[in-house]
Amino acid sequence: MARVTESVGPPTHAEVVAQIDVAVVATDRAGVVTLWNPRAALLYGWPEEDAVGRSFAELLLAEGHEQGISQLMAAARSGRSWQGVVRARRNDGSVCTVFCRQSPMVDADGAPTGSVGVSMDAVDAETAHALAASPGIDGARRTRLLSPREREILALLARGMTGEQIAERLVLSPETIRTHIRNAREKLGASTRVEAVTLAVRSREIQL
């Protein structure tokens, strides 16, 4: 008897967000968390069920380090993109240095409805400030930088797949995958794969 293989459809946006290897947080105009992926839970120590529905500032504002969070929240309220270094409080009370990039979310009429941001735990403050000083990409820009293949590969990286797994899935050589990733990094001005994925999300080259 022939074996029946159950077909697997494309991943949903929620599944991609859950697997991406950077913290992804979305808030409404009031700064209340509406999305909090597993990496955000790992980075900040707050489980999703404790974070969603609470104020972003309430969760992460660290006494004596208010400036970064305040700037981020002000940008979110006004519908502006923002990037910079934030000193954030974890659930256990410790303080971490985080590099954040966020973009506004808008409705069909272009009115801001909230914001979505990605965060990376910086190895040290010097690295975080170097990232913050790098040229940003306007989140409202519509011109595509990447080729369809480059966007496809970055989207698969965002799902947590390795270069070898992507090569097998797309029936390409690992060297071809590395070339596409290198080209995408150069176009986006990214120094690493993680930063390339982050910039691609922020500039809407790939969708979560």
Is residue 2 included in any domain, yes or no?
A: no
Residue range 134-145, pLDDT digits in tens: 544 443 333 467
When divided into structural domains, the chain yields a total of 2
> Closest Cα partner for 147 from 99, 105, 206?
206
DSSP, res 67: H
Burial class (CB in 10 A: 0-12, 13-18, 19+), 117: buried
125 close to 96: Cβ distance less than 8 angstroms? no
CA distance 138 to 141: 5
Q: At what angle do helices 148-158 and 163-170 cross, to 10 degrees?
A: 130
**Residues 116 and 160 both lie in one domain:** no
**Residues 117 and 164 both lie in one domain:** no
**Residues 73 and 159 both lie in one domain:** no
Q: What residues make up the domain containing 165? A: 148-202
**Residues 88 and 174 both lie in one domain:** no
Residue range 156-180, pLDDT digits in tens: 888 778 899 999 999 999 999 999 9
**Residues 173 and 124 both lie in one domain:** no
Residue range 67-126, pLDDT digits in tens: 888 888 888 888 888 888 888 999 999 988 888 888 888 888 878 888 998 887 754 445
**Residues 161 and 197 both lie in one domain:** yes
**Residues 63 and 123 both lie in one domain:** yes
How would you classify residue 144: left for phi > 0, otherwise alpha for psi between -120 and 50, otherwise beta?
beta
Residue range 19-64, pLDDT digits in tens: 777 889 999 988 999 999 999 999 999 999 999 999 998 999 988 8
Q: Which residue has the higher pLDDT, 156 or 16?
A: 156
CATH number at residue 67: 3.30.450.20
Position 129 pLDDT exceeds 60: no
Q: Is 149 helix (H, G, I), strand (E, B) or coil?
A: helix
CATH number at residue 195: 1.10.10.10
Position 208 pLDDT exceeds 60: no
DSSP, res 139: T
CA distance 105 to 76: 9
Rounded to an integer, the average pLDDT of 7-14 is: 65
Is residue 141 included in any domain, yes or no?
A: no
The single-letter code of the amino acid at 48 is E
